[in-house]
Amino acid sequence: MKKIILLFTGLISAAAFNIASAQESKSFSFGFKVSPNFAWVKVQEGPMTNNGLGLGFTYGVTADFMLLKNQNYWLSTELNVTSLPSKVQHTGDLKGSSGNNATYKNVQFNYNNQYLQIPVSIKFKTDDLGGMKYYMQFGLGMSFAMQKKVETISDPSIYGNSGLTSHDPNNPSNDIYDFAGIDNNKPDPSLTFKDDINTFRGSMIIGAGVEYHLSGNMNLLAGLKFDNGFTDIFADARVNARNNFLSLQVGLTF
């Protein structure tokens, strides 16, 4: 019986050693992530202010490549689809476009844009600590708007009796929902806003989290990531703003 126990213990030890060796020798990992995010807007310039948090969502794939043949340093890349809400309110009154001389008050813009995002970062991982590795990451993100949508809320409604509640701000046919400040055919810059969104978004990324070893090459990933935009999201020349978000990341890597 004692021999059987010793043999069984030896087999378990060998298996654990092989799994650990495989983990340590791995130089590449691939996985999937999902991430709810909380987004807000920081206005740098212009008569606009943030109007609360928006709840968005990210999903995509991730790949990590070992650097310098060292298990503590990794190049992390992702390909994500990110829904990024941005809520802002104009601080004054606005006037309509295309011959619309009405004055609109309490104008709010609730954007829900979808981006294709390609983050690249350097990830620093700890050694294995009881089946877990902790990490921090720093990097840059490139995002390209695939879908643009804005719900414009105003008093009275900018949509009138059209039955619409939202529109594509970058579609030229929807320029009737811009605010051109027309007053007796004389544009007033203080009453204008072009609601178009810039296609490119650049950001700085800071994150931290943990990888928990499940079995074989499979790991559970959990962490937080702050995505700080540094490019203007609006096409309007008078307003300069950045959109930022904090996301909770959950995924599996192999």
DSSP track, 52-116: --EEEEEEEEEEEEEETTEEEEEEEEEEEEEEEEEEEEESS-EE-STT---EEEEEEEEEEEEEE
Q: Is residue 79 in some structural domain?
A: yes
What residues contact 109, with CB distance under 8 A and at least 6 apart?
A: 86, 87, 88, 89, 90, 150, 151, 152, 153, 195
Does some domain include residue 16? no
Number of domains in the chain: 1
Instruction: State whether residue 135 is helix, strand or coil.
Output: strand
Do 235 and 178 touch, CB atoms closer than 8 A?
no
Residues pairing with 81 in the sheet: 59, 116
At 118, which CATH number?
Answer: 2.40.160.20
CA 25 to chain centre: 32
Grouping H, G, I as helix, E, B as strand and the rest as coil, residue 24 is helix
pLDDT in tens, the chain (254 residues): 444 334 333 433 433 444 344 445 689 999 999 999 999 999 999 999 999 999 999 999 999 999 999 999 999 999 999 999 999 999 999 999 877 889 999 999 999 999 999 999 999 999 999 899 999 999 999 999 999 999 999 999 999 999 999 999 999 999 999 998 887 667 788 889 999 999 999 999 999 999 999 998 999 999 999 999 999 999 998 999 999 999 999 999 99
Query: 0.75 cut: is pTM over it?
Result: yes
pLDDT at 231: 98
Q: Is 83 inside a domain boundary? A: yes
Q: Is 21 a member of any domain?
A: no
Residue type, 251: G
With respect to residue 59, please indicate whether it lies within any of the assigned structural domains: yes
Question: Under 8 Å CB-to-CB from 16, ≥6 apart: which residues?
Answer: none
Does residue 10 fall inside a structural domain?
Answer: no
Sign of CA dihedral 220, 222, 226, 227: positive
CA–CA dist 217, 211 (Å, integer): 12
The CA distance from 181 to 179, in Å, is: 6
Asked whether residue 198 is domain-assigned, the answer is yes
Q: Which domain, by its residues, includes 119?
A: 26-253
Q: What is the pLDDT of residue 6?
A: 43
Domain annotation covers residue 58: yes
